[in-house]
Chain A
């Protein structure tokens, strides 16, 4: 059975160019970049190149790039650094729809005596910048808001938010794990102090991430060890993955237009057709302020896990915000924050595409989804009543 992979916000396939670029660093070029000999030193050269490639994608300079092990490490480093460098400040502002890497960390910090403000979103998942302004205090150490939401794709106006925070002298971090490589980012033109990237969301391997730290920002390392990353992140460089991430960023910059035309058009067609063909379905999240690859659709009166498993029978991969897939008994915190009714939240499915998807795959899914939903609705005690 062919796999149709519409779950690219969960993880992506490693691009073949990326894998090719990495392979020599497992075999012939296994030296330690910190070594004195040329054998190791030449790897250091390649890491410099990768740093430039990453910086290029986000409009930063290479010395502002710190390689980490994943997006979560980058997020943790950013928040901890802001707190460690401003020990008298005990307040953090974030939103109700952040990734667990930020949410769970903030919940933990709350038990350690920090005060957390979670900004609300409206029913489209959009942020009210006025509420950010009102929440800033002299005690606020950092504002952390995601750039693109992993579940709905909704884009936050982080550049404006960063400017607001800066006016009050407050640091600003953004989790750009979903945004990087999908929408243009120019850090030279905004006030963002720190930004997180995860390799495996943009066709690099798992286990590599980036924290951008603007030049001049006070920084305190999270992982303490050797002098790697100019003393900002201990631990021997993951050379193959760093080289791979560099290549992936280069490709992402090249494919940015394709992402916002070809991928976006496929997403729009998938969304429009599903809404047309399946009654009582709706899109979650603002349709104009959205990542080009993501759509989150609710099918009323059916449950997400059951939908996913029937899709799985046909080789179609996606995700759901239903309670049964979240590992808790509550549907997705993102959909709840948006006030999506429970009846809709339980039946939400997220489709997230990449440049490797095809029009034929879209056709197949458009064709197969209506009978799946109809079959489950036939079984649902709520369906007939509502007709």
Chain B
């Protein structure tokens, strides 16, 4: 059994604004019987171009009905510009949250809203350049991209929970993964490490050697001393077992330099003190 919040139950058992607005300014139907949920949204504006009345008819489960009820409550009194900013997450939040698998019900509400406003404005129904990715549920690449951005999704399963895309035959799952990858690569910003002064850099190198490097070397009977730092060249002296070890060069490159690149700066190189 789904764990619905009291608010979902309330809006399912006593939904607000069921029906169709007479002589509506905007209307839209999204979903289909085959998909398992469908929503017809109608609205009327007042003289100030605010939504005076919004009504729905929904075929679907409890959360689809509750999401529709919530949507009509949220947008009443809003201008169309304000209404367009309502996200599926806002609908879910209004209901105190929805189970992950049911988030697509809130997305359905958002889709109906966008389409109904487009209908009023006379703009094209399908977003420019949008193409159907999921044939089973008629979900476009734009729908998927928006869900990924608005809800910070990172797996195909999450996309399916939010948009239904990929939940039917599963043929489009690869395409969904590609959309996730492209959205992620365009939004992730690699965190830039703050630029260090020379003194700060030397201190950080010292600390890193003390904390991260020396204990490991001592375990093997060796040791290391920091001799000098010239720009990004770190000059060290190996001691004990390390000094006579044939693998010392490898240790220096693969371990000491690797750790310093990782923790201090990617430009660092490590050299053994000339003997």
Contact = CB atoms under 8 A, between A and B. Distances in A.
Contacts, number: 71
A327 interface: yes
Given A324-B36, A329-B168, A381 B137 contact: no
Interface string A368-387: 00000000001111100000
A101 to B, nearest CB: 21
B11 to A, nearest CB: 12
Interface in A299-327: 301-306, 309-310, 313, 322-325, 327
B36 A381 contact: no
Contact of B61 (A324, A327, A380): A324
Interface in B59-109: 59-62, 64-65, 101-102
A323 B36 contact: yes
A281 interface: no
B164 A306 contact: no
A329 B59 contact: no
Contact of B167 (A306, A322, A328, A378): A328
Contacts of A378: 18
B160 interface: yes
A346 interface: yes
Given A309-B12, A328-B167, A330-B167, A382 B33 contact: yes
A305 B40 contact: no
A343 B33 contact: yes
Q: How large is the interface on B (under 10, 10 to 19, 20 to 34, 35 or more residues)?
A: 20 to 34
Contacts of B38: 381-382
B36 A322 contact: yes
A130 B70 CA distance: 54
B36 A380 contact: no
Interface string B22-39: 000000010001111111
Given A330-B168, A380-B58, A380-B59, A303 B36 contact: yes
Nearest to A329: B167
B33 A301 contact: yes
A324 B60 contact: yes
B144 to A, nearest CB: 15
Interface in A257-311: 301-306, 309-310
B62 A305 contact: yes
Nearest to A324: B61
Nearest to B4: A309
A346 B59 CA distance: 10
A301 B59 contact: yes
A219 interface: no
B239 interface: no
B36 A327 contact: no
Contacts of B58: 379-381
A343 B164 CA distance: 18
A331 interface: yes
A382 B37 CA distance: 11
Best-buried of B29, B34, B59 by chain A (most CB within 10 Å): B59
A313 B12 CA distance: 12
Given A309-B62, A324-B60, A346 B36 contact: yes
B57 A342 contact: no
B196 interface: no
Given A313-B13, A346-B33, A306 B40 contact: no
Sorted from nearest, which 4 A-B pairs have the closest CB atoms?
A329-B167, A324-B61, A305-B61, A381-B40
16 contacts: A305-B2, A306-B12, A306-B62, A306-B65, A327-B101, A329-B137, A329-B160, A330-B168, A342-B33, A342-B36, A379-B15, A379-B18, A379-B59, A380-B57, A381-B29, A381-B39
Given A342-B33, A381-B57, 14 more contacts: A303-B64, A305-B2, A305-B61, A309-B12, A310-B13, A323-B36, A324-B36, A324-B37, A325-B61, A329-B168, A342-B36, A378-B18, A379-B15, A379-B58
